[in-house]
Copies of this chain bind each other. A is one copy, B any other.
Amino acid sequence: MQIEILRPSDLTPDVQNQVAALYRQLNPDNVQRALSEILVPQNNVIFVICKIDDAIVGTALLSTYKVISGYRGMVDDVVVDATQRGKGIGRRLMEKLLEEGKKTGLDEILLFTGHHRAPAIGLYTSMGFELRNSGLYSLKDF
């Protein structure tokens, strides 16, 4: 098992197809942005993957941004192949994101996850993440 950062120069049609297939396991109907849009210099994202025998079996992304209240990272798209769960891949991906977030000098790392997702919540809280007394609100039509 290898944990790696995916960089623009790593982007091939095969990599795009593997990530897309992995991501469709989550929800086939979800919006899915192409990696060619994500892996561009202007987009401040640390894109971590897990490979087993050259197959991409997990992803985790950390977007970084600076606002008055701090230099933040937001975790998204933590996905592990359904056939590879229980091997600690999610934890390894997250550990790599935290390591990279530290190098970047972030003040805080944020993530949100569904209240019903007990295994994900267990992983995040075991790594020190704390539930904040805040609601997450979203708007799609504007």
Contact = CB atoms under 8 A, between A and B. Distances in A.
Contacts of A71: 33, 37
A115 B137 contact: no
Interface residues of A, number: 59
A68 B77 contact: yes
5 contacts: A31-B107, A63-B66, A65-B65, A108-B138, A129-B137
Interface of A: 19, 23, 30-33, 35, 37-38, 42-45, 59, 61, 63, 65-72, 74, 76-77, 98, 101-102, 107-116, 121, 124-125, 127-142
Question: Which 7 pairs from chain A and chain B are nearest by CB?
Answer: A63-B65, A129-B137, A67-B76, A98-B142, A112-B134, A68-B77, A129-B139
